């Protein structure tokens, strides 16, 4: 057992923390002390210190990124040959990634649209376009989330911007409150799947070391699944509109024209941004800057809705979000460096290969794992920790890196809706002034729809990769179902493998049948004469280099050598002669 000073001090510190936290609850204190004693006695120094950091974070109520940073810094000091400044160097390397610039720009653009009137104008257009069909107002809410997601790139922002307008309108139109809250909470999660998406950008950064992914292609791949999920939610809204016999809004061409004219600049933003990305006019990073300039210009000079007070609010909220996000990324990179240094991803890939999982089996495993992870981790932490390990494993079983990225995002999109840390649940609870239990019950029907969509996205890869392949202008190549070892076909009658030739030569030497070295040509001629009747037990095999060296030494004897031929010629001659000698009896049995 390891009773080092660091381990003893950590044990005493944890025992003290547990005593302070549970001084009024004796049973809890007994459980904690029992757990600490067991870990102290049956784990090594590094293992106990890792558990100590995790348990201390739980006792102190520290956020997850602090836990990641603490484990990363501790492991750098104990497991690697590097010093602590390596963590600073990893952050500086992150600053050199151009795609990282897209994140603050998209955050600012989302805040500008939330503080301005772009969201309201989008909703007015969607109501005019879809309000006349059964469940039209609810369909308008879903369409508004889909469209706004293509602008903001954030799920909570979409819930706030669209939900704050549409839930009161749905309630006024006699839709049940649980249906209204559940639908908007779920539809808002499309903000991370329909491009541009901040989590997609972070995913492409984190997996770039093992399976490079172009964020632009990831954006394109998110369109199909995003529209598919949006269509499923809209279909659910139609059925509920018929079920509750909600009155429809009359269709009016004049109203649609007015809404289009009022919301024209709002509708053009995703067209300009996504159109520019997909046509190659600008990159995803440049598109993020364009979105900020466009949104600011429209809100200030066209709509006239952005005053100085709102601009200060935009700056404050954006800096708060970006500051926390960059700290999380920096600390997660430190932990990721330790994992790579200790070859954890490579070991996991090797373990996966040993299990011989098929693509279907691997996807079942990944989906279950990510659904569980989504319950207990926020999406950014999950991407920063889990994605670098799963990406090479997916590549090992032949899954397209783009497809794997979309599966990852859809799983964690569902994580926004599952307790105990589903972010959209808490946003909706606060926004609509309902208990967290009410919101959880409200999202159950739409959560089932999301799980069905996840199955389709996972096992129909063309839904995600089809548009990417089409825009690449290259044919789609199907990935192999399961990597398999190539098994050589048995030799045809009359043919002998090189291993058989070497085994036969050694057996003959042991039996005293050959007193001198023979050339490779003679070995093959002799094997051809004997056919396949050699039953002598195999002896130690010689390498091809040894055989070639022996043949060359034989050729240097004073006796005139036969004309030397290449190995390819010899094998070709043996195969041509095989049919002629197939009927001849074997020259000997080699025994």
Q: Is 322 helix (H, G, I), strand (E, B) or coil?
A: helix
Q: At CA 262, angle to CA 184 and CA 118, rounded to 5? A: 40
DSSP 251: P
Cis amide prior to 196 (ω within 30 degrees): yes
Give the pLDDT band of residue 405 (cuts 50, 70, 90).
very high
Of 199, 198, 197, 162, nearest to 183 by C-alpha is: 162
Residue 472 corresponds to which tokens in the numbers above?
């690449």
| Range picked from 69-73, 433-437, 520-524 for highest mean pLDDT | 433-437
Give the pLDDT band of residue 192 (cuts 50, 70, 90).
confident
Q: Rounded to whole angstroms, how far apart are CA atoms 126 and 130?
A: 6
Mean predicted confidence (pLDDT) in 338-357: 74
SS3 letters for 418-442? CCCCCHHHHHHHHHCCCCHHHHHHH
Give the pLDDT band of residue 515 (cuts 50, 70, 90).
very low
| Between 79 and 492, residue with greater pLDDT | 79
Percent of the chain, pLDDT > 90?
17
Q: What is the dihedral of CA 335, 341, 342, 348, to 10 degrees?
A: 80
With 60 as the cut, is the pLDDT of residue 257 above it? yes
Residue 518 corresponds to which tokens in the numbers above?
């023979």
Residue 353 corresponds to which tokens in the numbers above?
């290969």
Percent of the chain, pLDDT > 70?
76
**Which element (helix H / strand E) includes 527?**
helix 520-530
| Between 553 and 159, residue with greater pLDDT | 159
Q: Is 263 helix (H, G, I), strand (E, B) or coil?
A: coil
Contact yes or no for 195/467 (Cβ under 8 A): no
| Between 41 and 180, residue with greater pLDDT | 180
| Range picked from 121-130, 232-241, 498-507 for highest mean pLDDT | 232-241
Contact yes or no for 453/410 (Cβ under 8 A): yes
Give the pLDDT band of residue 570 (cuts 50, 70, 90).
low
Name the H helices within 213-307. 215-243, 253-262, 264-279, 284-297
Q: Quick one: pLDDT at residue 183?
A: 94
What's the whole-model pTM score? Answer: 0.66
The mean pLDDT of the chain is 78
Give the pLDDT band of residue 541 (cuts 50, 70, 90).
very low
| Range picked from 56-70, 456-470, 546-560 for highest mean pLDDT | 456-470
With 60 as the cut, is the pLDDT of residue 533 above it? no
CA distances from 69 to 91, 103, 314, 496 (A): 12, 21, 29, 61
Q: Rounded to whole angstroms, how far apart are CA atoms 367 and 384?
A: 17
Question: pLDDT per residue over 64-122, tens digit each?
Answer: 667 777 777 777 777 766 665 666 776 677 667 777 788 788 888 878 877 877 778 88
Q: What b/e string do you get for 468-499 counting C-beta neighbours within 10 Å, with b at 16 or more?
A: bbeeeeeeeeebeeeeeeeeeeeeeebebeee
């Amino acid at each position: 057992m390891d009773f080092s000073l660091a381990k003893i001090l950590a044990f005493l510190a944890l025992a003290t923390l547990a005593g302070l936290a549970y001084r009024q609850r004796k049973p809890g204190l007994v459980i904690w002390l029992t757990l600490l004693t067991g870990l102290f006695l049956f784990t090594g120094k590094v293992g106990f210190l890792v558990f100590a950091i995790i348990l201390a974070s739980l006792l102190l109520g520290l956020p997850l990124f602090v836990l990641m940073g603490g484990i990363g810094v501790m492991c750098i000091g104990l497991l690697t040959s590097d010093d602590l400044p390596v963590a600073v160097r990893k952050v500086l390397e992150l600053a050199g990634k151009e795609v990282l610039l897209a994140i603050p720009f998209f955050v600012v653009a989302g805040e500008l649209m939330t503080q301005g009137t772009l969201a309201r104008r989008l909703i007015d257009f969607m109501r005019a376009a879809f309000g006349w069909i059964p469940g039209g107002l609810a369909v308008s809410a879903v369409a508004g989330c889909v469209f706004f997601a293509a602008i903001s790139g954030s799920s909570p922002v979409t819930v706030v911007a669209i939900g704050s307008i549409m839930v009161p309108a749905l309630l006024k139109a006699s839709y049940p409150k649980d249906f209204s809250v559940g639908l908007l909470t779920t539809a808002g999660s499309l903000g991370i799947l329909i491009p541009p998406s901040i989590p997609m950008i972070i995913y492409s950064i984190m997996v770039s070391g093992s399976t490079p992914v172009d964020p632009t292609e990831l954006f394109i791949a998110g369109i199909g699944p995003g529209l598919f999920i949006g269509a499923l939610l809209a279909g659910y809204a139609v059925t509920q509109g018929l079920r509750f016999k909600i009155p429809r809004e009359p269709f009016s061409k004049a109203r649609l024209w007015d809404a289009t004219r009022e919301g024209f600049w709002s509708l053009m933003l995703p067209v300009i941004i996504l159109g520019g990305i997909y046509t190659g006019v600008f990159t995803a990073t440049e598109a993020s800057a364009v979105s900020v300039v466009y949104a600011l210009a429209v809100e200030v000079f066209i709509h006239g809705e952005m005053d100085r007070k709102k601009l200060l609010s935009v700056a404050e909220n954006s800096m708060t979000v970006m500051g926390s996000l960059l700290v999380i990324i920096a600390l997660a990179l430190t932990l990721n460096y330790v994992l790579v240094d200790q070859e954890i991803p490579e070991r996991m890939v090797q373990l996966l290969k040993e299990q011989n999982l098929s693509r279907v089996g691997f996807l079942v495993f990944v989906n279950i794992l990510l659904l569980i992870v989504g319950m207990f981790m926020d999406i950014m932490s999950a991407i920063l920790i889990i994605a670098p390990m799963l990406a090479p494993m997916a590549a090992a079983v032949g899954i397209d890196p783009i497809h794997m990225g979309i599966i990852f995002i859809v799983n964690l999109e569902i994580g926004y809706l599952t307790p105990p840390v589903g972010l959209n649940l808490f946003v909706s609870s606060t926004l609509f002034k309902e208990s967290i239990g009410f919101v959880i019950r409200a999202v159950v029907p739409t959560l089932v729809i999301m799980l069905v969509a996840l199955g389709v996205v996972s096992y129909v890869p063309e839904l995600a990769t089809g548009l990417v392949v089409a825009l690449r202008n290259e044919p789609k190549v199907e990935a192999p179902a399961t990597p398999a070892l190539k098994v050589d076909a048995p030799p045809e009658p009359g043919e002998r493998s090189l291993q058989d030739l070497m085994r036969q030569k050694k057996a003959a030497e042991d039996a005293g049948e050959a007193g001198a070295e023979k050339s490779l040509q003679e070995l093959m001629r002799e094997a051809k004469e004997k056919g396949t009747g050699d039953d002598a037990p195999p002896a130690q095999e010689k390498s091809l280099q040894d055989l070639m060296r022996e043949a060359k030494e034989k050729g240097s004897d004073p006796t005139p050598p036969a004309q030397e031929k290449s190995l390819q010629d010899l094998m070709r001659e043996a195969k041509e002669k095989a049919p002629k000698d197939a009927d001849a009896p074997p020259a000997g049995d080699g025994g």
